[in-house]
Amino acid sequence: MSNYGANNAISVEFRISGHADNNPNIVYCRTEYLPLLKTISPNDFVFVDLGLPSGTLWANRNLGAPSSNDYGNYYAWGETTGYDQGKTTFSWKNYKYCKGTSNSLTKYCTKSSYGNSGFTDDITQLQGFDDPASNKYGYYYAIPTKEEWEELMTYCRWSRLNNGAFIRGREGKSDDVIMLPAAGYRSGMNLYDADLEGYYWTSTLDPNSPDDAYMLHFKSGNTKPNEYDYYRCHGRSVRMVLRPRTNPSGAKRPSHQSSVNSNVPMKRHGEGMVMEMVSHPTNN
C-alpha cells in the first residue's frame, strides 16, 4: 500500500505473513520516504548560524511557537502529535510506543526487561517519521541529537533571562542569538515549572534506561544548562535544527543560510527522498 501525500512524502507499507526471520516481535515492516527539504513558509522559521564547528543551524523559536518568546508545543519523545494537536494527557497509559507501562516498550528499546514481552530493537536515535520536526518539514530538519546540544553548550555563551535562556554565537557570530523559553513540561494533564525551568528533548535514547531519553535542562539561577534523561512519555519542548550533512543518496544541503537578524526567513524546497525501515512488535 502506498500513498503520495500533499507534501510529496511517500509512505510504502509491506505486510508480512508470518514472522520475519523467525522473530516473533516483527509483524510487518514499513518503508517511509521523507522529503529532504519541504518548503517552509515565510511565516515559519528563521535558522540562525551561531558559528558552530558542525555548521548546524538552530531555529529561532520552538516548534509550534508563533514567536521566540512563546512556549510552543509539547511532545512526548517519539510522537509527532503534540499538546496543541489534541494530546492533552502525557502518561505511559497513552504513550505511542508502549503497552501502558514503562516496561512494555514496543519501539526504541535496548533492554529486554523494558520491552513488551522481552522486545528489543536497539534503536537509540529517533527515526525521521517519529521526529515531529522531520515529519513536518523534511529529513534535514530535526530534533537535535545529544551531541548537537552539547556542541551548543560548549561553543556558545549562555545567559539567564527571567523566563528563559539567551544563547549568543561564537566569536565572529556574537550578533547572532537564539532564546530558549522556560516552558516547563507536561506530565499527566498538568503543566509544571512554566517560566521557571526549560526542558528540551534531544533525539537520543538512554540505552541504559530505554524508558528515558536525554534532554537539555536549565532553571532559574543557572547560567549554564545541564543534560539528563527522564521519562519519554512526558511532554517537553522541541527546538529544531537544520543539519549541514548530506543524506544517504548523496544529495547536498542548500548553501543559503539565514540569521536571526534577517528580515526574510529562509525558504527551502524538497530535493529528494530518504528511506528508513522500521519494525513493529506483535500486539499481545
**Are the beta carbons of 58 and 186 closer than 8 angstroms?**
no
Percent of the chain scoring above 70 in pLDDT: 70
pLDDT at 139 (0 to 100): 85
pLDDT at 279 (0 to 100): 35
In this predicted structure, the answer to whether residue 33 has a pLDDT above a threshold of 80 is: no
Residues 6+ apart with CB under 8 A from 206: 212, 213, 214, 229
Render pLDDT for 113-128 as a digit per residue (tens, 0 to 9). 999 999 999 999 999 9
Mean pLDDT throughout 81-101? 97
Q: How many C-beta neighbours within 10 Å does residue 16 have?
A: 12
pLDDT at 244 (0 to 100): 83
**Are the beta carbons of 259 and 110 closer than 8 angstroms?**
no
Render pLDDT for 164-186 as a digit per residue (tens, 0 to 9). 999 999 988 888 999 999 999 99
Which H helix or E strand runs over 59? strand 57-62
In this predicted structure, the answer to whether residue 93 has a pLDDT above a threshold of 80 is: yes
Which H helix or E strand runs over 214? strand 212-219
Strands (E), the chain: 2-4, 10-15, 28-35, 47-49, 57-62, 141-142, 157-161, 164-168, 177-181, 185-187, 190-192, 197-205, 212-219, 226-231, 239-242, 273-280
User: φ and ψ at 185, to 5 degrees?
Assistant: -150, 165
Q: Is 225 helix (H, G, I), strand (E, B) or coil?
A: coil
Q: Which grid cell sits at 248?
A: 544517504
∠ CA 232-135-58 to the nearest 5 degrees?
80
What's the pLDDT band for 161 if we cut at 50, 70, 90? confident
pTM over 0.85: no
What's the pLDDT band for 162 if we cut at 50, 70, 90? confident
In this predicted structure, the answer to whether residue 193 has a pLDDT above a threshold of 50 is: yes
What's the pLDDT band for 41 if we cut at 50, 70, 90? low
Whole-number Å distance between alpha carbons of 101 and 231: 11
| Structural domain count of the chain | 1
Q: Domain containing 15: what range?
A: 2-280
User: φ and ψ at 21, to 5 degrees?
Assistant: 55, 35
In this predicted structure, the answer to whether residue 20 has a pLDDT above a threshold of 90 is: no
Render pLDDT for 234-273 as a digit per residue (tens, 0 to 9). 999 999 999 885 433 333 333 333 333 323 233 232 333 3
Least confident of 2-6, 80-84, 204-208, 222-226: 2-6
Whole-number Å distance between alpha carbons of 232 and 53: 30
**Are the beta carbons of 60 and 47 closer than 8 angstroms?**
yes
Note the helical H segments in 45-189: 132-137, 146-155
pLDDT at 225 (0 to 100): 80
| Chain mean pLDDT for the chain | 78
pLDDT at 103 (0 to 100): 97
pLDDT at 32 (0 to 100): 54
Whole-number Å distance between alpha carbons of 46 and 54: 18
Alpha-carbon distances, residue 258 vs 17, 43, 115, 151, 186 (angstroms): 49, 14, 43, 19, 32
Whole-number Å distance between alpha carbons of 29 and 24: 13
In this predicted structure, the answer to whether residue 8 has a pLDDT above a threshold of 90 is: no
Pairing of β 2-4 and β 10-15: antiparallel
pLDDT at 246 (0 to 100): 42
Whole-number Å distance between alpha carbons of 99 and 61: 33
